[in-house]
Structure 1
């Protein structure tokens, strides 16, 4: 019997590995070992909090996992998948409303190029070298289709993010050589469906969920199903 690949789950800006708790529980119940990464940052994990530091952190996580990996990124962390996702053990990648970027692009350059984002440059505060998103803004942009309790809980756990996470320029595109799938969230207020579909056209396959920006909270079963189906495909 073939061992199921380890699913490595990477969170978006201001979040932590906790954002994947429900999805990870469902995947592990169905026999998929999971690693929910918490990237370095203020009030988060120790280490280099910059975009490059995050890329190196993810590369180190992947290097420490024996066997095959399916790498899953949400929102900002799609940029990290492009940089680190061609590690030798990565068999496939899933972008969940995530920034699937070409070399030379950044999260800011793509998300701010089109009108409509409610978590864009004008919705974020810069304090020193960090970016802050206020709880009310996060509830509206990230969690509008979540339960009020889940929205309040998640907004209360957000932490500052280094400014380079938005502006860091991508130098690689691992999705060109690693089988990849994009999950478009059609009710997303943070990364508009139009921007997502533009990026989704770059990869091998795509699907859509009628969800806001945080489907791992609002519909974890559907997200787990997307990952499971793709994992089975790349194993086959």
Structure 2
């Protein structure tokens, strides 16, 4: 039995994984959905990494799954904990020493998002409904928090202090219908920063809410590959 440690993106709500975690457990693995203090203006990347590492505790068979902003937490955890595999899901992929605030300009994320919106015929100006919730079922949203946690600024200004990505299996997984980080943008960033090709599954940016089975199936396939 392996342990999947599930790290949410901006806002840090463990609730984001509530449709994925039971599927992982049903397959005979442990699933730990980490809750992060995203709205705490005094908590940054180092604090996030500490929280994830405490959740890992003494476990050694760990698969780290990082969604969106959690891509900046992932390398900090990997250098301090016995992570066997990392999966970056619609994730921001940092370079050593980079801040999450600088990442947008360095990668051209906003320009890529606006170009994709123009091509595909939806609003170029960001709003939550268009870019995050367009494929999430309404009944799922009704079970969620009335006021989703907002991400404070602190995490965007703290450098991601690591020297290199670890020499472990790293999978870059993108949702085909992600409007926030369009798949062609994610593909370029994965090649430039990790030298890796991404894999695709159906869904949008919040794919753990819109396509939990598809995401879980892929995570379990990665684990089986690792166990061989």
Global fold match (TM > 0.5): yes
Among residues 67, 78, 82, which one is paired with 2:75 in the alignment? 82
* Structure 1 segment 62-211 matched on structure 2, within 5 A: 62=56, 64-112=57-105, 113-114=108-109, 115-117=111-113, 137-151=127-141, 153-154=143-144, 156-172=146-162, 175-201=165-191, 202=194, 204=196, 206-211=198-203
Among residues 16, 33, 38, which one is paired with 1:36 in the alignment? 33
Moved more, 171-180 or 26-35: 171-180
Unaligned segments of structure 2, at least 5 residues: 115-125
Deviation at 1:226, TM superposition (A): 1.0
CA contact (8 A) 1:179 1:204 kept: no
Unaligned segments of structure 1, at least 5 residues: 119-135
RMSD: 2.5
Distance 2:220 2:45 in 1: 29
Deviation at 1:231, TM superposition (A): 1.1
Among residues 9, 13, 19, which one is paired with 1:16 in the alignment? 13
Deviation at 1:173, TM superposition (A): 5.7
State TM-score, norm by structure 2: 0.82
Q: In structure 1, the residue corresponding to 2:59 is in which secondary structure?
A: coil
Q: In structure 2, the residue corresponding to 1:169 is in which secondary structure?
A: coil
CA contact (8 A) 1:27 1:33 kept: yes
CA contact (8 A) 2:11 2:148 kept: yes
Q: In structure 2, the residue corresponding to 1:161 is in which secondary structure?
A: coil
Distance 1:108 1:158 in 2: 21
Q: Deviation per CA, 1:181-224, whole angstroms, max 9, x where unpaired?
A: 01112221222223311232215553102321011011100100
CA contact (8 A) 2:61 2:82 kept: yes
* Distance change in 2, residues 1:216/1:194 (3 Å): same
Moved more, 164-173 or 91-100: 164-173
Deviation at 1:31, TM superposition (A): 0.4
